[in-house]
Amino acid sequence: MEAPKFVFLSLLLLVASTTRSSAALTRGFYNNVCPNVEQLVRSAVRQKFQQTFVTAPATLRLFFHDCFVRGCDASILIASPNGKAEKDHPDDISLAGDGFDTVIKAKAAVDTVTNCRNKVSCADILALATRDVINLAGGPFYDVELGRRDGRVSTIASVQRHLPHPEFNLDQLNSMFNFNGLSQTDMIALSGAHTIGFSHCNRFSKRIYNFSPRSRIDPTLNLQYAFQLRQMCPIKVDPRIAIDMDPVTPQKFDNQYFKNLQQGKGLFTSDQVLFTDARSKATVNLFASNEAAFQNAFVSAITKLGRVGVKTGNDGEIRIDCTRPN
């Protein structure tokens, strides 16, 4: 008689382990420990946002880069004395300091309240700060699931081949997002984050100067826009010069990004391909014509993104200092 009971127990444990990670994230996770955590984070983020708009795209990009490498565990924030952490990888080196600073300031604000001190993870603070910058920039307000724990490990090697590149085609984008449990629609909606923020000349100069032996300028690029980009990014210019990703409303979280794609004004190949590839074009057209459809899809996608590889329960830790493991 013991065998069936054992099998049943094993099945229960299996079910519990497979549902644990996202089930453990809940909206009111800190209600009993730090009930005003959202207001504390929002106030600190608003203050930082009022100082510089870069706060918005920098924090949003930080969240994305964190979740795609080792899951949403704030391992991107860990600093290494010998340059061997995630943030030191070439794919992360361009992350703006304002994103890191936003999380540090929000963490400090939370820790000024005695009952909240060292009770809220850096990973959850980053997730909340991301929602707040999106909303402050004119985007949607949405509920954030909480309960993430902070990772203890951050290595430069773990970034390799885990982040999308500007020259990716649709198959490469879909493959990378699918790996993280995100659909093509999620990927297109999250790409809409490029409606705010900036990039650097060296990330797209090939498209405007030496695209191919037959065509110096990428033929999918709007020619007038390409010449504007050449003016802003002359051949021998400092490669770190920043260019707005949305040339129309660069400081507003809206659906303009998708309208730009319709006109051949996607800054990266990985942006423009969403419109030139027939498999994704209809979604771009929908988001361009219907801002509510984009916002709903974005909220759904960023909520799913926030569940990627999370550490919960006894995994990880609550870091006292976001920049180093306890």
275-312 pLDDT, tens digit each: 999 999 999 999 999 999 999 999 999 999 999 999 99
**pLDDT at residue number 239:** 80
User: What are the C-alpha distances in Å from 247 to residues 193, 232, 264, 286?
Assistant: 14, 12, 12, 20
Give yes or no: 200 in active site: no
* Residues of the binding site for substrate: 164
The whole-angstrom separation of Cα 249 and Cα 88 is 31
The whole-angstrom separation of Cα 305 and Cα 60 is 12
Phi/psi for 216 (5° steps) reads -65, -35
Residue 277, token pair as written in the block: 């590839």
**pLDDT at residue number 19:** 35
pLDDT digits (tens, 9 = 90+) for 188-231: 999 999 999 999 999 999 999 999 999 999 999 999 999 999 99
The whole-angstrom separation of Cα 251 and Cα 259 is 16
pLDDT band at 151 (very low <50, low <70, confident <90, very high): very high
**Axis crossing angle, helix 184-191 with helix 278-289, rounded to the nearest 10:** 50
**pLDDT at residue number 15:** 45
Long-range contacts of 128-132 (CB under 8 A, 24+ apart): 128/37, 128/38, 128/41, 128/42, 128/45, 129/41, 129/45, 129/59, 129/63, 129/102, 129/103, 130/59, 130/60, 130/62, 130/63, 130/302, 131/302, 132/41, 132/42, 132/45, 132/46, 132/49
Catalytic, out of 65, 89, 162, 165: 65
Q: Quick check: 134 pLDDT over 90?
A: yes
The whole-angstrom separation of Cα 37 and Cα 116 is 8
* Residues of the binding site: 66, 69, 71, 73, 75, 86, 164, 194-195, 246, 249, 254
* Residues of the binding site for heme b: 194
Distance of CA 122 to the CA centre of its chain: 15
pLDDT digits (tens, 9 = 90+) for 25-75: 999 999 999 999 999 999 999 999 999 999 999 999 999 999 999 999 999
**Axis crossing angle, helix 278-289 with helix 269-276, rounded to the nearest 10:** 90
User: What are the C-alpha distances in Å from 37 to residues 103, 113, 226?
Assistant: 13, 9, 45
In one-letter notation, the amino acid at residue 188 is I
